[in-house]
Structure 1
Amino acid sequence: MMRYLASHENTTRGTSDFPLELYYVDMLHPRYEMPFHWHMECELLLVLQGEFTLLTDGQSYTLHPGNSAFLSSGAVHGGIPKDCVYECLVFDLNHLIKNYGGLFQQKYAGLFSPETQINVLYPAGTPCGQIISDLFAAMKDKNNGYEFFTIGMLWQLLGQILREHLFTVLTPSSRHFVQDSDQIKQVLDYIRRNYASQLSLSDLAKVLQLSPEHFCRVFRSIIGKSPIDYLNYYRVECACELLCTSSDSITEIAYSCGFHDLSYFNRIFRRYKSISPGRYRRQYIGSYKNLIY
């Protein structure tokens, strides 16, 4: 099983007393690109360098240096970096509220409701953007007392979001979109568990008991790719991780990732990475590093 490539990440973040974890991703990391996934924690993303195209729940956002994004709990999201270095801070908002914010939860219950979606994009220089930048700096430096600063800045960020009303309450039409997104999570999880097998469009459509045509429309509306395009993309990302972290041959990796024809694997790999699997391995081997600071 892939260490990082899971459609539904359920790794414990931080500790029970401090449920936050900071991740650093650059061009030398095997998970440089962000396959679609979701988790029950919230996530902040900060671009340090280059450009990052964030795709979440059918919307696309382009982030430049200093720009940040807020991803709510359960949001299906993925990303395409371009000459990019970025950081992610994943935190369990429900745990923080339970431990530190009973009063706030009662007074501002609407902000934490599943019917409420916090805005995604926060440009550099805006009040929320500055808070997020300072929050990442405190988490990275880990100076004495940084835990107090980070927890405090998270509450400050939520306060600023409330003050500026940077959230929307779902309408009946948007609730329908959320239902589609929840369905697609089932398909993403199915792909994660079965990508090494031969999968057809009909196989994927059957997960939701939809016709292939209807399934394609729903899938593309959320993910922005056709189901087969995404399947090939996901397989290539799995292959990239194995190329960087295992000594298996390229043929073994191709077969283990669902490609049963080496020439087809090489062609699809080049389509997504613009280089051959062998060159990719030589370029990135030895550069593998932990995602966590």
Structure 2
Amino acid sequence: MRRFHFIDEPSLEIPTHFHMLCEVMLFKKIKGQVGIDGQSIELNDNSLVFVPSLAMHEMEMQGEEREFSLLQFQRYLYSELALLDVASQLEKPLVLQLNDQQAGYLHSQFAWLENVDNNNDGRNLAHSLLRTLFLFLAGQQSRCQFSTEKNATVLKENKGLAKIIPLLHHLENHQTLNLSLQQAADICGMSRYHFSRVFKSLFAQNYKDYLLKRKINTAVAMLSDSKQSITQIAYACEFSDSAYFCAKFKQVMGMSPGQFRQSTQTVLSFG
């Protein structure tokens, strides 16, 4: 889990993407919009967003101050937490505008999660807190602001997405950020032309731009969670040199890697 706090930073647009991880975002301070599976909802202070695995989503963050926590996890965590009986209720996206009582409770839960010790006792406490969080999310599906006809299940049945999933699995399993267009098309069993058309129809961007943003996302995690130098991170993310990395990072994120590192706070990871 990571916590972010930006003050007087440019607005940030996160383009359409999906991934294998589920994620929960709890916003303390925010102005903007989130789009999930083609539906867009306004974000305000004390908004809670849950994005299930494989759900297409994008986001625009505005406002002078943005403060939020991000929890990403794999679905097997439901089994670890003995929550398989409610896992089906966590297959749909969820965006909530929390009331003051709910917001206070969840902000406290997240703060506790961020600060528990990384030992057996701490992990047991973290699992208890996570279990409570997921039960809350499952219980709030009746308040979901998304149409029940448009949910993650519909997305998973999309034939175009089904063709691209082998590539996503390959990128995750091999931890590589550099695959040529031809290599990606071969993994998906398509011609370069067909792959390019399907990919752009799903992501509203070409494959090259997607790879760049994937590299930047990896760099964001490393800047937040490690003490490696910017040069080390540039090479780890398979950029040719640190100057090119810094230029592309600023192009996507609106700030330099150094500025981003200064504006984030690293917290303990679970799951």
TM-score by length of 2: 0.63
Measure the CA separation in 2 of the matches of 1:188 and 1:69: 23
Q: Is residue 284 from structure 1 mapped to residue 261 from structure 2 by the alignment?
A: yes
Residues 259, 167 of structure 1: CA spacing in aligned structure 2 closer, same or farther, 3 A cutoff? same
Deviations 1:240-290 (A, max 9, x none): 55566344463x5434423336664444233223445xxx32663596522
Aligned residues of 2:31 and 2:44 also touching (Cα < 8 A):
yes
Q: Write the letter of the residue equivalent to 1:211.
A: S
Name the residue aligned to 2:194.
214
Residues 282, 45 of structure 1: CA spacing in aligned structure 2 closer, same or farther, 3 A cutoff? closer
Name the residue aligned to 1:225.
205
The match for 1:194 among 176, 180, 197 is 176
Tell me the SS of whatever aligns to 1:235: helix
Deviations 1:118-176 (A, max 9, x none): 35322344xxx975x35513514659x999898567546534534889773679x9366
| 1:233-244 aligned within 5 A | 233-242=213-222
Name the residue aligned to 1:137.
107
Residues 120, 130 of structure 1: CA spacing in aligned structure 2 closer, same or farther, 3 A cutoff? farther
Q: Write the letter of the residue equivalent to 1:123.
A: Q
Structure (1 or 2) with the larger CA radius of gyration: 1
Tell me the SS of whatever aligns to 1:168: coil
Displacement of 1:218 = 2.9
Q: Write the letter of the residue equivalent to 2:45.
A: P
Deviations 1:180-204 (A, max 9, x none): 4354343234345221x4x332222
Tell me the SS of whatever aligns to 1:210: coil
Q: Write the letter of the residue equivalent to 1:122.
A: L
Displacement of 1:220 = 3.3
Measure the CA separation in 2 of the matches of 1:121 and 1:286: 26
Unaligned runs of 5+ in 2: 114-124
| 1:1-293 aligned within 5 A | 23-27=2-6, 36-39=18-21, 43-51=23-31, 53-57=33-37, 60-75=40-55, 77=57, 79=59, 81-82=61-62, 83-89=65-71, 92-94=77-79, 95-98=81-84, 112=88, 118-125=92-99, 131=102, 133=103, 135-140=105-110, 142=112, 154-155=134-135, 157-162=137-142, 168=148, 174=154, 177-192=157-172, 193-195=175-177, 197=178, 199-242=179-222, 245-248=226-229, 250=231, 253-260=233-240, 264-276=244-256, 280-281=257-258, 284=261, 289-292=266-269
Q: Write the letter of the residue equivalent to 1:48.
A: K
Unaligned runs of 5+ in 1: 1-21, 106-110
Measure the CA separation in 2 of the matches of 1:169 and 1:56: 13
Aligned residues of 1:57 and 1:222 also touching (Cα < 8 A):
no
Name the residue aligned to 2:118.
none
Aligned residues of 1:57 and 1:223 also touching (Cα < 8 A):
no
Residues 51, 165 of structure 1: CA spacing in aligned structure 2 closer, same or farther, 3 A cutoff? closer
Displacement of 1:46 = 2.0
Measure the CA separation in 1 of the matches of 2:32 and 2:130: 24
Residues 175, 237 of structure 1: CA spacing in aligned structure 2 closer, same or farther, 3 A cutoff? closer
Tell me the SS of whatever aligns to 2:148: strand
Aligned residues of 1:76 and 1:185 also touching (Cα < 8 A):
no
Measure the CA separation in 2 of the matches of 1:273 and 1:146: 31
Aligned residues of 1:56 and 1:222 also touching (Cα < 8 A):
no
258-267 or 145-154, which deviates more: 145-154
RMSD (Å), alpha carbons: 4.6
Displacement of 1:237 = 3.3
Aligned residues of 1:23 and 1:87 also touching (Cα < 8 A):
yes
Measure the CA separation in 1 of the matches of 2:170 and 2:180: 12
Identity %: 21
Aligned residues of 1:47 and 1:68 also touching (Cα < 8 A):
yes
